[in-house]
Amino acid sequence: MPCDVIVGGFFGDEGKGKIIAYLSLHDKVDIAVRGGVGPNAGHTFVINNNIYKVRMVPSALLNKDTTLMIGAGVVIDPKVLFDEIERFSLKDRIFVDKNCGIITDAHKERDRAKDLKERIGTTASGSGPANADRALRILSLAKDVKELSNYLKDVSDEVNTLLDRNGKLLIEGTQGTFLSLYHGTYPYVTSKDVTASAICSDIGIGPKRVDNIMIVFKSYVTRVGEGELRGELSREEAEKRGWLEIATVTQRVRRAAPFDFDLAKRAIRLNSATEIALTKLDILFPESKKVREYSRLSDRAKKFIEEIEDRLNVNVTLIGTGEDVFDIIDRRNEKL
């Protein structure tokens, strides 16, 4: 009954898309289902120099044998969803829960309000206003949208049935722990909780059904929009270190800071993380680029990984060393 939950450990942008894409291919996942907020978060991953960017569909789409689903807790933008279904030829293998919320143009307009955008730094995707309307019990649901009728499922029933059959389930979280509405740097947060507990609730499985919770940390910290970022570097220094990045959805420059052990320790506690995926090691240690065996890492790269394991008391089982989905050091068997 392998059931793995993948969550972000910092402020999003940790590289979850790459990790999820790798796991779906390597582990031959039967169903990949995403929870989280909505199209305000983007995942990017690369395979054979082809770049994939998604906002609505799970990042497991590269495995053509994996059924893709979106849990009831997610708000969906039908325009974005249909675009991705068409672009990636997913028509026969993606389903949304009948109780997913629906984002409308009116929600996007509210999200573009000057006060909200300037005060919080929203993505203007309409996700926040849609979730606000859901709390008010006035939001339309997927079952109310005729165009979605061929894609509707009871996702909770589907994933629990899969686990009853000992199938492989991959649960995809979005954003990062400290963008959680409850546990993040309020008010500069997203519109709901995005920790592992909430992601499970989004898709409708109980906590006892989860086998592993993998928390994804980048080798440094980045953040888009407003809010605290301890140890923040100047844009010039971030660019000098090669840490300057552009956000997938908003195209805004991400602010950057060194790896924050105190923040990481709190994220592990909030998510009950059982293992760590560490991404972009090659940016911190360029000599590590595209290395796929732990023994071939430099001593200083190994020292950094060992420090993370020692201070956080959780094993680093996946290590990203390049852009490609398969630029990964997989230590899961070694760390059993």
Q: Which of 54, 75, 58 shows the shortest CA–CA distance to 66?
A: 58
13: annotated active-site residue: yes
Long-range pairs for 132-140: beta carbons < 8 A, 24 or more residues apart: 132/191, 133/101, 133/107, 134/75, 134/101, 139/75, 139/101, 139/102, 140/101, 140/102, 140/104
Q: Which residues contact 199 (CB under 8 A, 6 or more apart)?
A: 5, 7, 35, 36, 171, 172, 173
43: annotated active-site residue: yes
3-state DSSP assignment of residue 114: helix
Catalytic residue among 13, 77, 202, 282: 13
Cα 124 from chain centroid (whole Å): 19
CA gap 17, 58 in Å, rounded: 8
Cα 91 from chain centroid (whole Å): 23
| 72 close to 100: Cβ distance less than 8 angstroms | yes
Catalytic residue among 4, 27, 30, 43: 43
CA distances to 43, 61, 77, 86, 94 from 82, rounded to whole Å, are 17, 14, 9, 6, 11
Catalytically active residues, by annotation: 13, 43
